[in-house]
Amino acid sequence: MADGWASSVPNLGKNLSFLSPKQVELAKDLVEMGQSHLFEHWSEPGVDDDEKRLFLDQLIRLNESYPGGLKSYIKTARELLADSKAGKNPYDGFTPSVPSGEVLLFGDDDFVQYEEVGVREARNAAFVLVAGGLGERLGYNGIKVALPSETTTGTCYLQLYIEHVLALQEASCRLAEGSCQAKIPFVIMTSDDTHSRTVQLLEKNNYFGMSSTQVKLLKQEKVACLDDNDAHLALDPHNKYRIQTKPHGHGDVHSLLYSSGVLKAWHEAGLKWVLFFQDTNGLLFKAIPAALGVSATKQYHVNSLAVNRKAKEAIGGITRLTHKDGRSMVINVEYNQLDPLLRATGYPEGDSNCETGYSPFPGNINQLIFEIGPYLEELKKTGGSIKEFVNPKYKDSTKSAFKSSTRLECMMQDYPKTLPPTARVGFTVMDAWLAYAPVKNNPEDAAKVPKGNPNHSATSGEMFIYRSNSLILRKAGVKVEDPVRQVFNGQEVEVWPRIAWKPKWALTFSDVKRKVSGSCSISQASTLAIKGRNIVIEDLSLDGALIVDAVDEAEVKIKGTVHNKGWTIENVDYKDTSLPEEARIRGFRFNKVEQLEKTFTEPGKLTLQS
Ligand code: UTP
């Protein structure tokens, strides 16, 4: 017999007898929240009963994984959808201006000093990789962290990150007074789209040398999709007994760190810093030591890493927003909102470059460093929920219907939006060539990026690593020949010598300078891979390919002239499906014609002289 509330949805009322009390309770709440449509199509009892129970179990999960439950989700959705329909500007009343922050030039004294402080602090840090995204723009069939960051050594992103954390851990411990057993925690936020493949990648590769107890995976749940402005939850088009769900965005990382107890455990263990970063940036660890040094020196509660940004480049701009009522905050403004905001507030040119050739607003690369104490205190108040947004694609200008279902989303960089004015929120700007090489776009879209702006593709992601390593060696005194320009997959890029090294070889500029001496030169056609820890280069003239590896206990000096036919670069057609996807999406592969490859397996002082 159906209760009063259930009689309004007869198809649900008939089915209550085989549902658990918890399932009935949620069904009742949903009806009261105006979600009766979820049950209207239910069949007679005895038909699809298991599916109906699974449907309610899914709703229970959605209810429990969202702070405040579905009630809160639907309420916020209705408010945000109404604002969106009314065309309300989220920055109404705010005026943008260029904020001031720490600007570092690679290799300067300040930079070198901050790097030293950062390495010292690293043993008090934890690292969090957000890797739950679908990567729709890239369209790669695997998970993004499994992609090679560069194909000279074939090191995938996850391996690169783990090796960097391990190298930092060791370097930091070396600077500690007394014994140091630090094991820097490494958290990966996954989602249903990436979780099992991330576990497989780690297990197949023995956690890339990290202890498995150091790594923790936190899986984010998706959120319910919404069919209309009344926030009616969307049924899955392929199964009427499922709710359609989509990712909620990387902002979930805050509530997960809080609800899992991980953040509290780090605080109790005396850790001081948490560093957040994204799945495909092969250069980010070049910026981490100095940026962490800035956080420690300036005592920033929040430090966002930024780079020079080209106007209209698809990264947000760090902006000071001052409200008419006097409030002020330094925050990331998404690239698609920066242009209209500027135009509406007295900058008729909108998002444009200034005399430096860059936008005056530094580009946010979403690498964030938080001080754990104040962060935990804040999350105790908020539970880690982050200001959300909604981005429906409307059918027409009446904005009364959507082209497809939408959902609420949140971004991890919006965390400072709710902080009090007393919070120490800063940012650190570094050279883009040093710190930023994301892989987000598929070749076709990357080829359409306006000339002069970075393509953010697998092609540019790899080439930027070589450019950065070449420029670092140049700054350390090596004569590195100029690059040539070449087109791969329709994108013109600079091709520098293909130089790669393991993080344990050099983490900071001081490390590089210690390991390179005399008069060294590297031609544009060269390939250089340094895989061992204690390898020094002295008076080396390289024109060809040189690959050196050595056990940690071997001290190897490389001297003299290495001249061979080297590795040539072959263009690869994106559409040639007979080739591996990893090569196709970058548009090139190496032809290993000739090389000098040397592996030192015995301890001792050794010299490679040719
Ligand atoms: P991106 O902006 O690259 O988004 O995310 P994406 O979802 O991976 O790719 P597109 O937009 O579909 O092309 C930035 C970072 O945030 C992570 C991504 O894995 C990436 O490291 N992310 C994104 C999450 O962890 N969860 C999400 O829900 C979304």
Could you give the maximum distance between any two Cα atoms of the chain, in Å?
A: 91
In 3-state terms the chain splits into helix, strand, coil percentages (rounded to 5) of 35, 25, 40
CA 601/CA 610 separation, integer angstroms: 19
Q: Is the CB of 132 under 6 A from ligand 1?
A: yes
Q: Is the CB of 431 under 6 A from ligand 1?
A: no
Q: How far is CA 353 from CA 87, 203, 222, 350, 356, in A?
A: 28, 46, 38, 9, 7
Tokens representing residue 426 in the block: 């800063």
Give the right CATH number for 466-610 from 2.160.10.30, 3.40.190.10, 3.90.79.10, 3.40.50.2300: 2.160.10.30
Q: What is the pLDDT of residue 188?
A: 98
Measured in Å, residue 543 CA sits from the centre of ligand 1 at 40
Q: Contact at 8 Å (CB) between 386 and 76? A: no
| Residue 281 φ then ψ, to 5° | -140, 100
CA angle 333, 335, 341 (to 5 degrees): 60
Sign of the alpha-carbon torsion through 152, 158, 162, 168: positive
pLDDT, tens only, 350-369:
999 999 889 999 999 999 99
Closest CA to 146 of 190, 110, 105, 108: 190
CA 316/CA 337 separation, integer angstroms: 9
Query: In ligand 1, which atom is closest to the CA atom of 129?
Result: 21
CA 38/CA 224 separation, integer angstroms: 12
pLDDT, tens only, 179-194:
888 999 999 999 999 9
In the 8-state DSSP scheme, what is residue 384? T
Residue nearest to atom 23 of ligand 1 (CA): 133
Q: Is the CB of 363 under 6 A from ligand 1?
A: no
Pocket test of ligand 1: the residue of 66, 158, 250 to mutate, having most ligand atoms within 8 Å of its CB, is 250
Query: In ligand 1, which atom is closest to the CA atom of 412?
Result: 16
Tokens representing residue 341 in the block: 């905001």
- Residue found by looking up tokens 């539970």 in the block: 383
Q: Is the CB of 134 under 6 A from ligand 1?
A: yes
Measured in Å, residue 103 CA sits from the centre of ligand 1 at 27
Residue nearest to atom 4 of ligand 1 (CA): 133
Q: Is the CB of 133 under 6 A from ligand 1?
A: yes
CA 264/CA 271 separation, integer angstroms: 10
Q: Is the CB of 131 under 6 A from ligand 1?
A: yes
Q: Contact at 8 Å (CB) between 233 and 406? A: no
Measured in Å, residue 190 CA sits from the centre of ligand 1 at 10
Tokens representing residue 379 in the block: 């999350």
Q: Contact at 8 Å (CB) between 559 and 567? A: no
Residues of the chain with pLDDT under 70: 1-3
Measured in Å, residue 435 CA sits from the centre of ligand 1 at 19
CA 329/CA 418 separation, integer angstroms: 10
CA 437/CA 456 separation, integer angstroms: 7
3-state secondary structure of 48: coil
Q: What is the pLDDT of residue 537?
A: 97
Q: Contact at 8 Å (CB) between 603 and 554? A: yes
Measured in Å, residue 247 CA sits from the centre of ligand 1 at 9
CA 572/CA 464 separation, integer angstroms: 19
In the 8-state DSSP scheme, what is residue 43? -
Number of other CB atoms surrounding residue 92 within 10 Å: 11
CA 525/CA 546 separation, integer angstroms: 12
| Residue 271 φ then ψ, to 5° | -70, 155
Query: In ligand 1, which atom is closest to the CA atom of 279?
Result: 21
Q: Is the CB of 438 under 6 A from ligand 1?
A: no
Q: Is the CB of 195 under 6 A from ligand 1?
A: no
Q: Contact at 8 Å (CB) between 180 and 170? A: no
Pocket test of ligand 1: the residue of 147, 440, 444 to mutate, having most ligand atoms within 8 Å of its CB, is 440
Q: Contact at 8 Å (CB) between 13 and 19? A: no
Q: What is the pLDDT of residue 1?
A: 45
CA 79/CA 486 separation, integer angstroms: 50
- Residue found by looking up tokens 């010299």 in the block: 607
pTM flag (> 0.95): no
CA 166/CA 184 separation, integer angstroms: 8
Number of other CB atoms surrounding residue 433 within 10 Å: 18
Burial 438-449 (b: 16+ CB within 10 A, else e): bbbbbbeebbeb
Q: Is the CB of 504 under 6 A from ligand 1?
A: no
